[in-house]
Amino acid sequence: MRKLTRREIVKLAGIVGAGVLLPGEVQAFGSMIEAIVEKISEGIKGTIGKDIEIPPPVPGTKFGMVIDLGLCIGCRRCSYGCKLENNVPDSINPPYIMVFQTKYKPGQVMAESDLLGKNKERGTLKYTRLRKDRMYMPVQCNHCLDAPCTKVCPTKATYKSADGIVMMDYNKCIGCRYCMAACPYGARRFNWSKPTGILAENINPMVPLRTDGIVEKCTFCVHRTRRGSTTKCVEVCPNKARTFGNLNDPNSAVSRIITSERNFRLKEGLNTNPNIYYLTDPKRKPMRWFKAEPLDMDIRGLKS
């Protein structure tokens, strides 16, 4: 048998190597091209949610919400419920509703000097166990009357609708993230990758599925609220910390609460006129503790 020369061995190794590596590389390259073609087509046509009907704004309505901090127990059911209701993928993190856990006892005055970025607890991203000596504060899109995001969006992909909801048109969003930089409430989420972690059986057919490269946010569950229902976060809150309704109607629950109880809005100095009000004075109301452990809750049960 003839002995192979060094050159022949290298050549053979090259052929074998290419045979092993190439199919995988070709496949990866093919899927990359496919993704780019899909993005081009999506960019030109804009097909997200084209077959889903979004109800028109309700005339004479200004939707708003009240969150009672004295009643919020930090269970994050609102966050989970919202995630499922709005087909928010796992790749979106933090979810639309962030629930902060402060290290202060209810009623204790927060010292500004203690809060300058020294709080290492990134409680928003973790589903921490409830603690009775902590306060919880859910934050989300405030659906501002003078929303900075709608002014800066270069394509009107985000806009203020007549009923006070700051809406998203996913087919106009170019993914510049200017709205995210401009939002004082950190309420907007970008699809940094293709959405992952939505189970087919959990998909809500009333809400469009988004794709990578676009921004999304809380829509006050527009598919529900404009049909006369309430938002999912309100529905699933076990302690009734949230109230949703029409701020233009003086007899609505939200209007009555904000005219009769001590309340504040986030970052009022920025004159964004948020439509989410917070009730404070936690001392007045005793904390009512929710019996179920938040981590064991039946997530899919929320959909029913």
Partner 1 sequence: MKVIKDALGYATENLRADRKFYIYCFVLMIIAGVGLSGAVTALAEGHVHSNMSDMVPWGILISGLAFFIGLSAGATMVGLLIHGFGRDDYHPIGTRAILVGMMCIFAAMGCVMMDVGNPFRAMKIPFLLRNETSMFFISSSSYMGFTVLLIAELVSTIYVTIGKASRRGKKIAKVLGIIAVPYALIVVHSFTGTIFGVVKAREMWNTPMLPVHFVTSALASGFALVILVTIITSWINRKDLVSRETYNHMGIMLCFFLIATTFLDTFDYLILSYSGTAEGLETWHIFTGRYLPTFLINMVGLYVALTMTAFKKLRTPTGLFISTIVTIIAIGAYRINLISIAQLIPLYHELGEIQYVPNMHEVAPLIGLTAALMLLFSILTKVLPLEDKVHINNE
Instruction: In whole angstroms, give the CA distance from residue 21 to residue 51.
Output: 42
> Under the criterion CB under 8 A, does residue 42 sit at the interface with partner 1?
yes
Kindly report the backbone phi and psi dihedral angles of residue 137, in degrees, each rounded to the nearest multiple of 5, phi listed first: -145, 110
Q: In whole angstroms, how far apart are CA 226 and each of 33, 96, 108, 242, 260?
A: 40, 20, 39, 18, 26
| Tokens matching residue 243 | 């109230």
Two tokens at 14? 């090259």
Residue 254-273 contact track with partner 1, rule CB under 8 A, x = bound: ----------------x---
Among 54, 145, 180, 257, binds partner 1 (CB under 8 A): 180
Residue 76 in tokens: 């994050």
Instruction: Please say whether the beta carbons of 43 and 35 come within 8 A.
Output: no
3-state secondary structure of 71: coil
Scanning 8-16, 74-82, 96-104, 287-295 for contacts with partner 1 by CB under 8 A, the matching segment is: 96-104
Q: Is 153 a binder of partner 1 (CB under 8 A)?
A: yes
Binding mask 186-225 for partner 1 (x = CB under 8 A): x-xxxxxxx-----------------xxxx----------
**Token code pair at residue 92:** 């979106």
Footprint on residues 121-150 left by partner 1 (CB under 8 A):
121-124, 137, 139, 148
Residue with Cβ nearer partner 1 (127 or 192): 192
Instruction: Record the tokens describing residue 262, joined without a space.
Output: 């001590």
Tell me which residues touch partner 1 (CB under 8 A).
31-33, 35-36, 39-40, 42-44, 46, 91, 94, 98, 100-102, 112, 115-117, 119-124, 137, 139, 148, 151-157, 172-178, 180-186, 188-194, 212-215, 270
